[in-house]
Amino acid sequence: MDFSTLTVLCIGDVMLDRFVHGDIERISPEAPVPVIKLRETKEMLGGVGNVASNIASLGGRAVLVGLVGADDAGARLRQIVAAQKRIAPALLPTAHRPTICKTRFVAGRQQVVRADEESAAAATGDEVAALIAALDAHIEGADAVIFSDYGKGVVGAAVVRHGIAAARARGVPVFVDPKTDDFSIYRGATCITPNAREMGRAARAPVGTESEIAAAARGVMAEVGVDAILVTRSEKGMTLVDADGAHSVPSRAREVFDVSGAGDTVIATLALAVAGGRSLVQAMHIANAAAGVVVSKLGTATADIAEVMHELSAQDMQAGPASGLLSRDAACNLVTRWRDQGFSVGFTNGCFDILHPGHVSLLAFARGQCDRLIVALNDDASVARLKGPARPVNALAERAAVMAAIRYVDAVVAFGEDTPLALISALMPDVLVKGADYSVEAVVGGDVVRAAGGRVVLAELVPGRSTTGIIARMRDS
C-alpha cells in the first residue's frame, strides 16, 4: 500500500492541540479542585491539521489550508507545520479571529479539564475570498480534496460549493467531515463522513440500528445529491451507504485510550485509498483499521502505514477461515489487503461435497503455488444443476465450515453461477489452480488470469479418489 505519489488538499478549521501532562497529588485548599503538578507539555496539529498529519503519516502529501491568527498559538502552529516535510502549508493570516487552541490537562491517562481559545464566527468576506483563492491555487495538483468542518467558521457554504465544483470539474473526489445539520451545502461531494449522531440530526430520523442508518443515509443522499455517506459508529464500526447498497464493517475489540482525532484519521485514510484507486468499500476497511490504531493511543494521534497493515492482518485473523463463508465483497476486500501486504493470491474452486484425500492433495498443491489461497464453492443450487437433484450431500454452510478448517485454506467464498468466471474476474487471482483432468486452455477464467499477468497451474490427481465414487460405495454397502 503506497500513497507516496498522492496529494490531498485539506481545507478547514486548523487548530493547535496542546496537552499538558502532570500528576494529581492533592486537593487545592482554595477550592474543591485537584492540583496538577505539571511535568511536560506536548503540542501538535489539530482539526484539519490532524487530517493533514494523518495523510503525512500514511505516506501521502497534504496541502493544508486554514486561517491562523496573529498570536503565539499561531506562531507555534506554523512552526509545527514547517517541521512536517510532507505537509505543504497554505495557512492564511487573519486579524479577525484568534488561532484555535485547545489545551487539555491530563493526569496519568485521564483528561481532567480542557480550555479552548477560539472564535466560531462565520468567515468574513475577505477570509472567504482568501480561502477560495488558496483552493484554486492548489486544486490542480490534488488527487483528492477534504473539507474538515469543526464549526469554527472556515467551512462555509461559499467555500465548500466552490471547492466541490472546482474538484469535480477536474475529476477529483471530494470528502467532507460535516458539522452542520444541513448537508445540502455538500451537494456533489463524493462522500460525507458523519458520526451516527450527526447522521441522525441531518436526516431527522432514528439511527440506532444498521438498517435505520442505511435508511437515513439514503434519504439524505437523495435529497442533497451526494455519492455516498460513511457513518462512523464508534465501537460498532462503520456503515457505508452508496448506490450499491449498505456495507458495514465491525470494529475490532481493543482497549480504547482516546478517541480524539479518530474521525480525522478515517477521512484522511478514506481519501488516500480512493485517490489510490480503491473502491469506497475497500477504502472503508482500510480506514476502519487506521481508526482502530489511533483509538488505542493517548491524545490526538496518527497512524502510520506499518501500523495500518498490522491492524489489517489482525482483522484478517479475527475474521479468518474459522468464521466460514465470506461474501463476495468481503473476499474482494481481503484480496486487496493481501496484495497490499505483498502476498500472492491463489484460487481454486469446486463442489467439495464430501472432502477426501484427493481434495486435500489439491488444496496442499494449490497453497504451495501462492501465499494466500481462496477456495470457491459452488452453492447448493449450482451443485444440483451440475451433479443432479440428489446432490449436494452436504449443504453449503457445512461444506464451507469443513473447508475453512483445512490448514491450506485462507478464505472460503461461494458462487451461484454454473462457472466461477464472474468471481475470478472480481478477485483476479495471481494463480488459478485446477486438477489435471482439465487442460490449461479449458480452465474457466484462465484466459482472464493470464491476460492480467497471472498463471494457470494444473494439479496431479490422486487416482481412485472422487466424491461420486465414495457415494457409489456407500450405496453398494
Q: Compute CA distances 160 → 128, 165, 174, 318, 381, whole Å.
A: 10, 9, 10, 40, 51
Environment class of 444 (CB within 10 Å of its CB; exposed 0-12, middle 13-18, buried 19+): middle
Eight-class DSSP state of 301: -
Question: Does pTM top 0.75 for this prediction?
Answer: no
User: Cβ(194)–Cβ(211) under 8 Å?
Assistant: no
C-alpha cell at 220: 439524505
C-alpha cell at 326: 465470506
Q: Compute CA distances 388 → 158, 377, 469, whole Å.
A: 65, 16, 15
Q: What is the pLDDT of residue 388?
A: 86
Q: What is the pLDDT of residue 257?
A: 44
CA angle, 38 as apex, 25 and 256 as ends, to 5°? 80
User: Cβ(68)–Cβ(91) under 8 Å?
Assistant: yes
According to DSSP, the β-strands at 228-232 and 14-27 are: unpaired
pLDDT in 10s for each residue of the chain, 477 residues: 679 999 999 999 999 999 999 999 899 999 999 999 999 999 999 999 999 999 999 999 999 999 999 999 999 999 999 999 999 999 999 999 999 999 999 998 788 999 999 998 999 999 999 999 999 999 999 999 999 999 998 999 999 999 999 999 999 999 999 999 899 999 999 999 999 999 999 999 999 888 999 999 999 999 999 999 999 988 788 899 999 889 888 776 544 444 456 789 899 999 999 999 888 988 888 888 887 776 666 555 666 666 776 666 666 655 555 457 888 888 998 888 788 666 899 999 999 988 888 889 999 999 999 999 999 999 999 999 988 887 888 899 999 999 988 989 999 999 999 999 999 999 999 999 998 878 888 899 999 999 999 999 998 876 655 555 555 555 555
Place of cell 478477485: 427
C-alpha cell at 284: 472503508
From the candidate CATH numbers 3.40.50.720, 3.20.20.370, 3.30.460.10, 3.40.50.620, the one assigned to the domain spanning 323-476: 3.40.50.620
* Given the residues 17, 149, 264, 353, the one annotated as active site: 264
Q: Which residues contact 330 (CB under 8 A, 6 or more apart)?
A: 319
Place of cell 472556515: 154
CA-based torsion, 205, 210, 215, 217: positive or negative: positive
Q: What is the pLDDT of residue 225?
A: 92
Q: What is the pLDDT of residue 461?
A: 77
> Would you kindly state where each structural domain of the chain is located, as residue ranges?
7-232, 323-476
Sheet (strand 345-350) strand order? 325-326, 411-415, 372-378, 345-350, 431-435, 455-459
Q: Compute CA distances 122 → 152, 165, 235, whole Å.
A: 7, 21, 33
DSSP string, 410-475: SEEEEE-SSSSHHHHHHH--SEEEEETTS-GGGSTTHHHHHHTT-EEEEEPPPTT--HHHHHHHHH
Longest alpha-carbon distance in the chain: 94
What number does CATH give the domain 7-232?
3.40.1190.20
Give yes or no: 264 in active site. yes
Per residue in 287-306, is it b (16+ CB within 10 Å) or e — as a string?
bbbbbbbbbbbebbbbbebe
Helices 305-318, 280-294: inter-axial angle, 10-degree rounding: 100
